[in-house]
Structure formats: C-alpha cells, structure tokens
Amino acid sequence: MTEKWWYDSVIYQIYPKSFNDSNNDGIGDLRGIIEKLDYLNRLGIDLIWLSPVFSSPMKDNGYDIDDYYAIAEQFGSMEDMEELIAEADKRGIGIMMDLVINHSSDQHRWFKESRKSKNNPKRDYYIWKEPKADGGPPTNWRSIFGGSAWTYDQQTEQYYLHTFAEEQPDLNWENKKLRQELYQMVNWWLDKGLAGFRVDAISYIKKSGFKDQKVNGPDGLSSIFEASANQPGILDLLNELKAETFSNYQIVTVAELYAEDNKRMQEFAGDDAPFDLVFDFRHVDLDLSEGSEWFKARDWDLIELKERLNEIQKTYADDRRAAIFWENHDQPRSLNKYLNEAEINDYSIKMLAAVFMLQRGIPFIYQGQEIGMSNVKFENIDDYQDLATHGLYQEALKAGYDKEEVMEVVWRRSRDNSRTPMQWSDAENAGFSKAEPWLKLNPNYQEINVEENLKDDNSVFYFYKELIKLRKNSPYQEIIVDGKYQPLLESDPNLIAYLREKEGERLLLAANFKNKEVEINLDYQVEEIILSNYPEFDYRALKAKMLDYQLSPFETILLKVK
Ligand code: TEU
Ligand code: CA
C-alpha cells in the first residue's frame, strides 16, 4: 500500500451545535470553532471532522440539508467557513466536512419540485412508489429512527422512502442526473481546500428491489438493512463517486458504513476501494440487541469486546487502515458504555484512552472525550432534543416498556449523551455560551472541564496529548502508526494486551480493564516503560525483567519489550 499523507493523522470530531457559541444565541457556531483552534492545536490533532454545517431546517441537526451550497445561518456564513479553513490551515490543521448524500431535507428545492407531480422533471431524484393494494406503505421496512420508512404524500397519492426521518427523503442514486449534481457539489467544496470528507450513511444508497423483508419486531416491520445496506451494485456507484470527485484531490475520506463481515468491509476501504477509511461499528454497538427492540440492553464481556476490536484490526491489517474510535455524535459516551458508572475515574478513563489510541489505525477523538466527558441524565424526556431519542422513546413505549424502563434506555443510549455542550470551564453554561444553551448541560461541568484539565499536569487532556505525541513525534511513532497489531491474552477476562511490532522492535500495551488487582505474566522482557496511567508508580523494578507483574486497578502500561 503506498504511503499516505494522513497515515499518522489524529482526527478530532466537532459537533458544531455543541462546541462553542461565539455570538451568545445558545448555539455553537463556526466562529466559536475558530476561537478554539489554538486549544485543538495544543492537543496536537491534525484534522477536524466537522459534523454538517450546510443550510438545514435542523430536524436532525444538519443531517437534513436543504442547500448544499450554503452554510446554515445559525452556524455562520460562507465567509466564516472559508475563514475556518484558512485559520485551521495556518495551524497545520485540515478540515473534513460531513457529506450527507444518501438523503436531503424535505425542504430542499429538489424535493419541493419532486413532490409537485408524478411527471415533474425532479420526480425521479427521490424514491416514490405506489401504495400496496390495501393502501399501505409499499414495503414493511422500518426507518432507523422508528416507524415505517415510507410517508404518504397526498398530493400525488404515492409514498416516498426515508431511511431516516420523514424529513430526510432518500435521494435516488439510480438517477444519473442526480448523481452528476451531487458530484458537481462535492468538487465545488473540494475546490475550497477541504482536507477530505466523512461520508454519511452511505451504505443505504443502493436498494435491491422494494419487497417486504422478514418481520422482526412487535411493530410488524422489518429491518431496512436487509434490503438497503451494502447491496449488490453499491460499489459501482461508490467507485463512480470516487472517480468523479475524491480521486482528483489529495484528500482523505472516511465512510460511515453498516458493518458486516471482514471481506465485505475490505471492499469499501483501501487503495482500489471507494474510500480511504471506513467506520466499523462492530465494537460500539455490542451493547445493543437485534431487531426493533435494538435498544434493549445486551450483556457483553471484555472477551467479546476484545474479539470485536481484534476483528476490526484483522479486517484492515497490512495494506489498509481502520478508522478507530470510541465515541461520536450518535453514540453515548464511551466511559458509560465500557465502565460501570461508579468506576469512572482518572485511571479507568486513561486506560480506555490508551487502549484506543495505541491500536493500529487512524484515531478519531470526539469532542469532550479528551477531558473525560460522560453521559447526562435528564429526568424529563422533554429535556432531550434528539429526534432519534424521541423515536426510540415512542418505540419502547409501543413495545410495552413502562416510562421508568424507557428512561433507563434513554439514559443509556440517547445520542444527546454526546451532544451536551462542550465543557470549557466551571463558569456559567460551562463557558460554552452566555445564553441558555440549546441543550441542557451535563451538571458535572463544574468538575469536568477544559480549564481544570489544562491546570492539572496529570489530567486526561495531557494524557491524550501524550498519546498523540507518541504517534506523531516520538521514537515509537513508526511502530504505533504502521507496526503490525497482534492481540495477546484474548481469552483473559480482565486484561487487554496487544503488541505493536515493526522491523523487530516491539511495544506491548497491557491494560487492566477491571477495578481490582490482576496478575499479568507474559514471556517478554521489559526494556523500557514508555507510558503509565499511574504516574506515581516507580517501574524501575520492571526493567530488564520478564513481564511478571501485578497490575493495580485499571493500571495501563506501554512497554518496549523483546
Ligand atoms: O447515522 C447513520 C446511522 O446509521 C445512524 O442510524 C446511527 O447508527 C444511529 O444514529 C445510532 O443511533 C448518520 C449520522 O451519523 C446520524 O447523526 C444521522 O442522524 C443519520 O446518518 C442520518 O443522516
Ligand atoms: Ca451561536
């Protein structure tokens, strides 16, 4: 695989609405991001993945675009966007935008045209179908946000398809003219100097027919994935997208894909594949059940988590790279997913950071992860803003859960867990805004905030900074960025351990995933202790000895071994 400029990149995801509000309207914005570029530069990241800032009615906070050539007023102006690209570039930071082209907003002029009449020139830019004989939706597919994936349009007496919310009608990728309009838009943005794109929900652009699938829940609907995720023929469309756009620029692309088996995932990422990287969700959704009650808690253990992490590493080994992440704007906070709430502390947060950041692949740090932000717990469902959370709430009530049980589900899985305003300080509204934020804060901002982290040399922030430095500017950078990944102790219920190896040099990461002392015995001789989340410990006794050691609760060490 040819060397790529982004191989040693560390990428930071910003959810603009929640990052920093520069004009005190309670909503994060582009100028707010410009104000924080020096903070991000201090962390040491190379690229910013910006969740969508295009013009949008904001039903799904920007993942419903009504004008691909304009910036949402609440986020700022096109000049602000151009200034962000320029100011970031001055600091050696590239901007990746979020390309949402599986669907548009129902307020896009294309859709307004399309729904006017059956013979409108733009009709075929979307997916319209006749009702079934009984007048119902054309198929029994469930939208990812709950309920039918079809909405009836009185004016032309047909249904239109929406994989997500009804305000997000699916674009019809079978229509060549539509595709050409999308490619033209992508190139227009790339000519503004973007470093690349994260490509939203791209698994769903190819539908293989419109037939009912097997019902898999009490709502009598079926999962839309069976008929419209990674379907045969999708690669032709994605390779056309790449040929018409990405391949003509020195950029990096990462696709959000519905994860399947390794071979299928390899078809999407790599030199001769449509994308450079793919987000593979097999490790972040292990706490979800299947079917329409996907939100039901699913038990998992460390061995399963390691299996999934190792599957992902195996999939993208050698000539590809994994996009590695713990969190994003759709996921609850990783601290609450992988740790018991009572065990979230400095040691366990740093343990998760090291396990994540020292894998092979391109790390994506989600805003707030670098200071240990965690899930929120609003007592009232009306305090949640996310339309998927409200869809989930309705689904769970319909499935017979009572309100208390449903709130447990919301607290565990709502996407608003990762969308509470960024916690800059213990000042009013956590320094995010001088106005009432659009979404309530996590009350723990008094203790968990950037200012506190920057004051404490042993903070989570500086631990992430150290991990980034190891990848970017250390004697071990080559091994961490490019070295082979080899799991160890796969069947151990308490420990995560893996080797990183290149040209005979070996690093060993050993992490105690539990809040108790655990023995580690491995036939490697310790040469150097590179990093630990117990700065107070003296490791000299470990040097030149075989690794036979008792790890303290959540103790994590990175060693040079032979
Ligand atoms: O998410 C696509 C996707 O598959 C989501 O259904 C995700 O799995 C779900 O939100 C988890 O609860 C992308 C964006 O990341 C998401 O924010 C958007 O809502 C969605 O597409 C529609 O654009
Ligand atoms: Ca604002």
The reply to whether ligand 1 has any atom less than 6 angstroms from the CB of 409 is no
The reply to whether ligand 1 has any atom less than 6 angstroms from the CB of 49 is no
The reply to whether ligand 1 has any atom less than 6 angstroms from the CB of 432 is no
Question: Which amino acid would we find at residue 453?
Answer: N
For residues 169 and 162, the answer to whether their CB atoms sit within 8 Å is: yes
Question: Which amino acid would we find at residue 138?
Answer: P
pLDDT at site 389 = 95
pLDDT at site 212 = 97
pLDDT at site 1 = 46
Burial of 425 (0-12, 13-18, 19+ CB in 10 A): middle
pLDDT at site 400 = 87
CA 196/CA 187 separation, integer angstroms: 11
Angle, to 10 degrees, between the axis of helix 176-190 and the axis of helix 234-244?
40
| Cα 477 to ligand 1 centroid, rounded to whole Å | 33
For residues 433 and 35, the answer to whether their CB atoms sit within 8 Å is: no
Q: How far apart are the first and last CA of the chain?
A: 27
Beta strands 94-99 and 196-199 are: parallel
Please list the pLDDT of the chain residue by residue as tens digits (562 residues): 468 999 999 999 999 999 999 999 999 999 999 999 999 999 999 999 999 999 999 999 999 999 999 999 999 999 999 999 999 999 999 999 999 999 999 999 999 999 999 999 999 999 999 999 999 999 999 999 989 999 999 999 999 999 999 999 999 999 999 999 999 999 999 999 999 999 999 999 999 999 999 998 888 999 999 899 999 999 999 999 999 999 999 999 999 998 888 889 999 999 899 999 999 999 998 998 877 677 788 899 999 999 999 999 999 987 788 999 999 999 999 999 999 999 999 999 999 999 999 999 999 999 999 999 999 999 999 999 999 999 889 888 888 889 999 999 999 999 999 999 999 999 999 999 999 999 999 999 999 999 999 999 999 999 999 999 999 999 999 999 999 999 999 999 999 999 999 999 999 999 999 999 999 999 999 999 999 999 999 999 999 999 999 999 999 999 999 9
**537: helix, coil or strand?**
coil
The reply to whether ligand 1 has any atom less than 6 angstroms from the CB of 330 is yes
| Cα 75 to ligand 2 centroid, rounded to whole Å | 6
The reply to whether ligand 1 has any atom less than 6 angstroms from the CB of 164 is yes
Q: Select from 522, 528, 525 the least CA-distant residue to 540.
A: 528
For residues 312 and 322, the answer to whether their CB atoms sit within 8 Å is: yes
Closest Cα to atom 2 of ligand 1:
201
Question: Which amino acid would we find at residue 304?
Answer: E
Q: Which residues are identified as catalytic?
A: 200, 256
pLDDT at site 2 = 60
Angle, to 10 degrees, between the axis of helix 460-472 and the axis of helix 346-357?
20
**397: helix, coil or strand?**
helix
CA 7/CA 482 separation, integer angstroms: 8
What residues have CB less than 8 Å from 166, skipping those under 6 apart?
106, 143, 151
| Cα 413 to ligand 1 centroid, rounded to whole Å | 13
The reply to whether ligand 1 has any atom less than 6 angstroms from the CB of 392 is no
| Cα 544 to ligand 1 centroid, rounded to whole Å | 49
Which structure tokens are listed for 515? Answer: 């809040």
Closest Cα to atom 9 of ligand 1:
330
**497: helix, coil or strand?**
strand
| Cα 426 to ligand 2 centroid, rounded to whole Å | 19
| Cα 255 to ligand 2 centroid, rounded to whole Å | 29
**512: helix, coil or strand?**
strand
Give the position of tokens 């990746």: 96
Indicate which ligand has the atom closest to the C-alpha of 103: 1
Indicate which ligand has the atom closest to the C-alpha of 32: 2
Q: Select from 314, 365, 411 the least CA-distant residue to 49.
A: 365
DSSP assignment of 121-151: TTGGGB-EEPPPTTS--SS-EEPTTSSBSEE
- For a substitution probing ligand 1, which of 164, 285, 337 has the most ligand atoms within 8 Å of its CB? 164
Give the position of tokens 């000299």: 540
**Cross-strand partners of 148:** 142
| Cα 21 to ligand 2 centroid, rounded to whole Å | 4
Q: Which atom of ligand 1 is nearest to the CA of 102?
A: 23
The 3-state secondary structure of 312-341 reads HHHHCCCCCCCEEECCCCCCCCHHHHHCCH
| Exposure of 386 in the CB half-sphere (CA atoms within 13 A) | 22
Q: Select from 331, 421, 417, 416 the least CA-distant residue to 29.
A: 421
Which structure tokens are listed for 371? Answer: 């200071």
The reply to whether ligand 1 has any atom less than 6 angstroms from the CB of 60 is yes
Closest Cα to atom 4 of ligand 1:
201
The reply to whether ligand 1 has any atom less than 6 angstroms from the CB of 284 is no
Which structure tokens are listed for 310? Answer: 């190792």
| Exposure of 489 in the CB half-sphere (CA atoms within 13 A) | 21
Closest Cα to atom 16 of ligand 1:
330
For residues 359 and 308, the answer to whether their CB atoms sit within 8 Å is: no
| Cα 80 to ligand 1 centroid, rounded to whole Å | 26
CB burial string 352-369: b at 16+ within 10 A, e below: bbbbbbbbbbbbbbbbbb
For residues 83 and 37, the answer to whether their CB atoms sit within 8 Å is: no
Which residues are found with C-beta within 5 Å of the ion, ligand 2? 21, 23, 25, 27, 29
Q: Which atom of ligand 1 is nearest to the CA of 201?
A: 2
Which structure tokens are listed for 469? Answer: 């430095």
Which structure tokens are listed for 440? Answer: 């309530």
Closest Cα to atom 3 of ligand 1:
201
Which residue ranges form the domains of the chain, and what is each CATH number? 11-100+281-315+322-463 (3.20.20.80), 109-161 (3.90.400.10), 484-561 (2.60.40.1180)
Helix (H) or strand (E) holding 536: none
The reply to whether ligand 1 has any atom less than 6 angstroms from the CB of 388 is yes
| Cα 182 to ligand 2 centroid, rounded to whole Å | 29
The reply to whether ligand 1 has any atom less than 6 angstroms from the CB of 225 is no
pLDDT at site 13 = 99
Helix (H) or strand (E) holding 482: helix 477-482
**496: helix, coil or strand?**
strand
Long-range contacts of 71-78 (CB under 8 A, 24+ apart): 71/30, 74/17, 74/25, 74/27, 74/29, 75/16, 75/17, 75/27, 75/28, 75/29, 75/30, 76/29, 76/30, 76/31, 77/30
The reply to whether ligand 1 has any atom less than 6 angstroms from the CB of 202 is no
The reply to whether ligand 1 has any atom less than 6 angstroms from the CB of 63 is yes
Which structure tokens are listed for 334? Answer: 């990783």
Q: Which atom of ligand 1 is nearest to the CA of 103?
A: 23
Q: Which atom of ligand 1 is nearest to the CA of 328?
A: 15
CA 472/CA 46 separation, integer angstroms: 10
Measured in degrees and rounded to the nearest 5, phi and psi for residue 152 equal: -80, 135
DSSP assignment of 359-390: SSSEEEEETTGGGT------SSGGG---HHHH
